[in-house]
Amino acid sequence: MATNAESAKATRDLLGRAHSPRSVERIYTEKIQHRKLHLRATSPPPSELNTRAARRRKRQAEKDKKKQKPAPLSAREKRRLGLHDIPREGQKYDIYEPLNKLWQGYINEVLGSDVYTGGPNTAAKLASAEFHGAIVKVVRSRCPGRVGIKGVVVRDRKHVLEVVTRKQGVKMVPKEGTTFRVEVQVPGKSAKGTSAEPATELPETTSDDKKPTQGNVFVFDLLGDQLMVRSADRATRKFKAHFLKEL
C-alpha cells in the first residue's frame, strides 16, 4: 500500500505535467492536501435501497401482467377483420323479422300512454329511443332513388342506418337529408283509457307487404338530420324543442 509521502509525490508529478512548479504547490496545498474524502457520500441507506428495489419489482410485475392481457382491438382492426359486417348468408329479412316484434314491445313500454296522445313528451322519448329492430321506410330524401326503401334496422351508426330489406339485402341509408317513417303497433285502448286523438286504423293490405295487417298504429316521421348521433350517446342526451327549417 502506498504511503502518504508516495501519494503526495505521485499527485505532484501528475500536476507538474500541466502546471508550473509554483502552481503545482499552490493547487496541491489549497485543493488537495487537506480535502476530505467522503466514502459513498451519495449512497442511500440500505432501507431506502430495499424500498426502491421493491417499487421496481412491483412496476416490472405490472408490466408483465399487462403483456399477458390481450390489448383491445382498435377501430381500424375491427374494420379489417369485418367484425361488424353482416355475412351474405345472414342478409335475409326473415332472420330479423322477429327482432321487430321485440322492438314493438320495447317501444310500447317506452312510450306508455303517450303513444295515444303524442306531443312534446312523446317526441322527447322517441328522440332518445333505440331503433335497432324497427321497420323504417324512407319517405323523403335528397336522392330520389332512396325513396321507398323499407326494412329492419340492424345497425344504427352515427351518419347512416343499415337496413335489411325484403328483396335487396342490406342497404346503407345516409341520415343526412333523409326522412324515415316508423309505424308502432299499439294495443287496443282499455275502457278506462282516454285519448285526445283516435288511433289510426291500418288498411287491410299494404303495397309493401303481401300479408294483410290490421290494428291500431302510431305513425311518426324521423328527421335523419336530427339523429346524427350514436344511439348510445342519444340515450343520455337531452333534446330541446327548437325551430326546424326542414319543417
CATH number of the domain residue 164 falls in: 2.30.30.210
Question: Which residues pair with residue 142 across a beta bridge?
Answer: none
* Residue at 132 is within a domain: yes
Question: Which residues pair with residue 165 across a beta bridge?
Answer: 151
Give the pLDDT confidence of 142-183 residue by residue, as tens digits.
888 889 999 999 888 888 888 998 888 888 899 888 899 998
Provide mean pLDDT across the span 52-75. Answer: 84
* pLDDT score at 220: 84
Full domain range(s) for residue 148: 88-189+197-205+212-234
* pLDDT score at 181: 92
* CA 98 – CA 193 distance, rounded (Å): 29
Task: Give the global pTM.
Answer: 0.57
Provide mean pLDDT across the span 94-99. Answer: 88
Give the pLDDT confidence of 197-239 residue by residue, as tens digits.
444 443 333 334 444 344 588 888 888 888 888 877 777 776 6
Length, in residues, of the chain: 247
Question: Which residues pair with residue 182 across a beta bridge?
Answer: 136, 220
Domain count, the chain: 1
Give the three-class secondary structure for 157.
coil
- Count of CB atoms within 10 A of residue 225's CB? 14
Residue owning grid cell 502506498? 2
